[in-house]
Structure 1
Amino acid sequence: MELESPRGASPGQPFSGLLQQLTCQGTAGTERAAGDPALQELDALIEAADWPALLQEDPGIAQALGQVARTLGGQAAPAKVEDARSAPATSGAERAARVGAVFLQLLQRMEAARGSLGPAAVMAALCPAAPYIYIFSVTHCQERPWTSPASQEVAQEVLALLLRVTGCVSVSEFLRGETADQGGRFTAVMGLLRPELNKESWKNNPATKHIFSWTLYQVTRPWLSHHLERILPPSLLISDDYQNENKILGVRCLHHIVLNVSAADLRQFNRAQVLYHALFNHLYTPEPDLIQAVLECLLDLFPVLERPLQWKATEPRSSGPCDDVLQLILTHMEPEYRLLLRRTYARNLSAFIERLGILTVRHLKRLEQVIIGYLEVYDGPEEEARLRILEALKLTIKHCWPRIPCRLEVFLKALLKMVCDVAKDQSLTPEPVKAALLQEATDCLTLLDHCSAGQVTSLLTKAVQSCKDDKVLDCIRKVQELSGRTTKAGT
């Protein structure tokens, strides 16, 4: 296609027509190289144009800019998964950097025109192109396999300039709009991503899942509720993948939805139950990072699932999803020998006990076995699992104290054995960690003493006579002092 030079274009020929011709020329060839003549000509055309006059006189400018942005974004997109092996690692980043330079040129000219014409005229022309420019920026602004420092820098500059031209102070405002009633560009961006977010195609473009998740995180309540039908299916789709990385990403998207969509909207059409079952199934996978993400999400989903109901004292309280999840966690915890999983389970156990409160007594038998088993096992220099289990034991004593005296002997033996083990520990465990373990054990023994009407203090008095370890004696004396002090205070 023969194109007239942009600088020599006749005044009567619409500028939008030249842009569309250059766009067609850029997509007609088989090469995707960003340094082709059409791209260079487009850059020169943007630089030489009288933008204030064009925005006022050329009615097709908005459509043309949208087509240009769409084409440039397509040229800068990462290679598809099947093509990535054969393409050089640096070619895509170089192409993105050059395309980004063209976007910068365009936005700079639009910003200059904004000063003379006002925001309305510029925004009307830029509206179709803005979502494409945004997707380009998000695709390349972070460190990814298809980016380089140069392409990241250009993409970040493009995004910052796009926000400035559109009059937005943040990406969140760009996507959601200035107020809850004023629509932003989230719908347009999701509309462009939608064809790539189905079961057959979402893995073709390696950037799609990152664009979707990063965009989702920028929109919070109350705006996110308006887009629930657009964001929930892709999040479930990504979380249901066989790759652990994608599962975690999908679960984090679901967690953001749970935190930022109203409970009423989540309960509608049984969405909350769908979320719960999708998350619950992940608890059977032995991946610590995934388990951590799932448990955090479930803890925030429980208030949506378990609506407050008026309980009649004559009827037993029905169990709920939180009970089911805790039961499964305890089942997995008891025989678990892998340290990372043990730490993950122990890290989240206290939150479940805190949520159930007195209803933890339903699980007390198995919880007792898990606590005793975890107190016996050395957990490495940081002792995270044992510290977390001691925290869980304290909460269990506080919430279930009427049922604790009958288990006093079991817990007392386990705590004293752990105190002796820590006192004799000659490993690489730092002294602050040992001190934290002994302090937590002291707190648990003190609580046990309160629950048992002073039985612990009485039993420890006999132990003092035969004990010769200074650290153990110090722990016992602290328990006696604390128990005596609280008793005098009337607690």
Structure 2
Amino acid sequence: MAQHPLLHSLQWTIPEGHGCLERPPAEQVLSQFLQLFASRGASSDAKAGMIRDLLAILEAVDCQWLFGGCHPNAAPTLLRDMVVTLRLYAAPPQQQEPEGGGLPIGDPSYAAVASRAADVSLGFISIVAKVESAKGLERLGTAVVGPVLRQVAGPLYLFAVTHVAERLWTTPKTRRMAQELMDGLLRASDCRSVPEFLRGAREDETGWLAVVMQCLKPELTKDTWQRSPATKHVFSCTLQHVTRPWLGPHLEKVLPPSLLLSDDYREENKILGVQCLHHIIRNVPAADLCQYNRAQVVYHALFNHLYSKEARLLQVVLLCLLDLLPILEKALQRLPHNPQLVTPSDEVLQLVLTHMESEHRLPLRRVYARNLPAFVERMSCRLAVLLKALLRMMLDVATDRSLTPEPVKAELLQKATECLILLDHASHGQVKVLLQGVQRSCQDETLKECLRKVEEEPLKSIITP
């Protein structure tokens, strides 16, 4: 192995062709590399040179040297520190909030990021390849591969996801190399796909999601997530890969970041956050969502978005609410002596109808109209409650002997009758069926006349295409 500038700066010489005992331990090489790389005097060119020298070293040595070899259990922790350092080195430039608010500012040029990512990818691919090789060696095997993967799998996955998709800081070359790294990581961890890597192959397996989220946690706080343009995409992509029943145990890790995203002032972040919340609602058991008032917190976050005038945001919010409302209402029904008269469904429908009536912008009206049938089709499950309330009110008005003016009573009964007709249309004629027994037993002529109007009204759809 030829002399390299990095080894020269470390004052080491590795003669080519000599055995393991003649080489410096991996822990010394990695430790000195990290110290030199982190030194204040290291320029960008110097760091790039160190990485190229490190790549040459990794290509020349075998897995026994890197993962312990002659010095068992020497390198996994330092290897993790090196992977984390290089991942941050190749990350997109951090953004900062300008004084007085406004859009985040940062380095608009991502060419340097792509160049760094390409060099780092080569090193990470080499490390993963050596993990694969170590699995087949009796001297190393699972005793070494397991500890090494536990140290490096999380940051390697985060690096690959950061650079594998088409973003401002990626190029076709870096995306291809990131995919090669991801494929190698899956093979090294005996997984066939990214979802299997994160959740485990079977329901009783844990997968790597907890490790990944632990690595990502410092970047997902209220004060840090906006600084990196990649963080939100990495989190969202990771979350979408984990479905029921594997997502439930990780609810506390994924719900707060989703709420943070949805609460941002930028529309694209709000939409991304709501999509994350929707995925959680659809893939976490209702009992877990309702525990500790989580479902109510999500509901209030979504309800506030209904005042938005952005059609794209309203569309994803309404779809999310349609899956959340049944969970909320079932939870409310289980509460003893629940005094709540207005349910979340009532609140949402009332607000949608109010905004739709006064909205003059066509994109928003189309969003409201597109989702309104879904709210109507939920009506049938609440038919008994609504019908009972309407009939009780009509009976009280019809039998009222107070000084209430007759025109007022007549208008109340007319409006209630119209509500019964609308409810019958929404429930596809179920009201007429339920009212047959009421008509036979009703003794008040005024109320019977109202029920007769409902019976004679032809059935039709209340929502036109």
* Contact in 1 for aligned 2:63/2:130 (Cα 8 Å): yes
* TM-fit CA distance, 1:362: 6.7
**Counterpart check, 1:110 vs 2:131:** yes
TM-score by length of 1: 0.70
Q: Deviations over 1:229-254 (max 9, x none)?
A: 11111111111011111111111111
Residues 34-49 of structure 1: matches in 2 within 5 Å? 36-49=48-61
* CA distance, structure 2, for counterparts of residue 327 and residue 309 of structure 1: 19
The aligned length equals 380
Report the RMSD for the aligned CA atoms in angstroms. Answer: 3.2
Instruction: Confirm or deny: 8 A CA contact 1:114 1:122 kept in the other structure.
Output: yes
Whole-angstrom distance in 1 between the partners of 2:252 and 2:273: 16
* Residues 127/225 of structure 1: CA separation in 2 closer, same or farther (3 Å cut): same
1:11 matched to 2:22? The reply is yes
- Counterpart position of 1:422: none
Q: Which is worse superposed, 327-336 or 34-43?
A: 34-43
Report the AA paired with residue 397 of structure 1. Answer: H
Would the alpha carbon gap of residues 146 and 310 (structure 1) be closer, same or farther in structure 2, given more than 3 Å must change? closer
Q: Is the 8 A contact 1:163 1:169 kept in 2?
A: yes
Q: Aligned in 2, Cα 1:235/1:86: closer, same or farther, shift over 3 Å?
A: closer
Q: Which residue of 2 aligns with 1:473?
A: none
Among 273, 298, 311, the alignment partner of 1:275 is 298
What displacement does 1:318 show?
Answer: 5.0
**Matching of residue 99 in structure 1 with residue 120 in structure 2:** yes
Which string of whole-angstrom CA distances, capped at 9 and with x for unpartnered residues, describes residues 282-328 of structure 1?
Answer: 000011111111111111111211117889xxx99954211211111
8 Å Cα contact 1:190-1:230 kept in structure 2: yes
Please tell me the residue identity of whatever aligns with 1:252: Q
Partner of 1:262: 285
In the superposition, relative to structure 1, how do residues 113 and 271 fare at CA in structure 2: closer, same or farther (>3 Å)?
same
Contact 2:379 2:426 in 1 (8 A): no
Aligned to 2:263: 240
Deviation at 1:179, TM superposition (A): 3.0
Do the aligned partners of residues 64 and 197 (structure 1) sit closer, same or farther apart at CA in structure 2, a change above 3 Å counting? same
In the TM superposition, residue 93 of structure 1 has moved relative to its aligned partner by 1.1
Deviation at 1:398, TM superposition (A): 4.6
Q: Does 1:338 align with 2:366?
A: no
Instruction: Name 2:10's counterpart in structure 1.
Output: 2
C-alpha displacement of 1:452: 4.6
Identity of aligned residues (%): 45
Where does residue 321 of structure 2 map in the other structure? 298
Pair 1:23-2:34 in alignment: yes
1:10 CA displacement: 5.8
Inter-CA distance 317–133: structure 2 relative to 1 (3 Å threshold): closer
2:87 aligned with 1:78, yes or no? Answer: no
The alpha-carbon deviation at position 7 of structure 1 amounts to: 5.4
Deviations 1:353-392 (A, max 9, x none): 11122758979xxxxxxxxxxxxxxxxxxxxxxxxxxxxx
CA deviation profile, 1:162-204 (whole Å, cap 9, x unmatched): 1111111111121122333332221121112111211111111
Structure 1 or 2: larger helix share? 1
| Residues in 1 aligned to 2:192 and 2:150: alpha-carbon distance in whole angstroms | 17
Match of 2:252 in 1: 229
After superposition, residues 381-460 of structure 1 pair within 5 angstroms as 397-399=425-427, 401=429, 452=456
- Asked whether the 8 Å contact 2:275–2:316 carries over to 1, the reply is yes
Aligned partner (choices 185, 203, 223) of residue 162 of structure 1: 185
In structure 2, what is the Cα distance between the partners aligned to 1:101 and 1:81?
Answer: 27
- Structure 2 length-normalised TM: 0.74
Task: Show structure 1 runs of 5+ residues with no match.
Answer: 364-392, 405-449, 457-491
CA contact (8 A) 1:358 1:400 kept: no
For the residues of structure 2 that align with 1:348 and 1:165, how far apart are their CA atoms?
A: 46
Q: 1:188 to 1:316 in 2, by over 3 A?
A: closer
Residue 467 of structure 1 corresponds to: none
Q: Please tell me whether the aligned partners of residues 66 and 126 of structure 1 are also in contact (alpha carbons under 8 angstroms).
A: no
* Matches of 1:5 and 1:173, distance apart in 2: 43
Q: Match for residue 440 of structure 1? A: none
Report if the CA contact (8 A) 1:402-1:451 is conserved.
Answer: no
Contiguous gaps of at least 5 residues in structure 2: 1-8, 97-103, 388-420, 433-453, 461-465
| 1:67 alignment counterpart | 81
Amino acid at match of 1:196: E
Work out the CA distance in 1 between the residues paired with 2:12 and 2:78. 17
CA positional deviation for 1:451: 7.4
Distance 2:49 2:127 in 1: 17
Q: 1:34 to 1:338 in 2, by over 3 A?
A: farther
Q: Conserved in 2, the CA contact under 8 Å of 1:7 and 1:45?
A: no
CA distance in 1, matches of 2:340, 2:87: 57
1:386 aligned partner: none
Say whether the 8 Å CA contact 1:187–1:227 is kept in structure 2: yes
Task: Measure how far apart 1:132 and its partner are.
Answer: 0.8
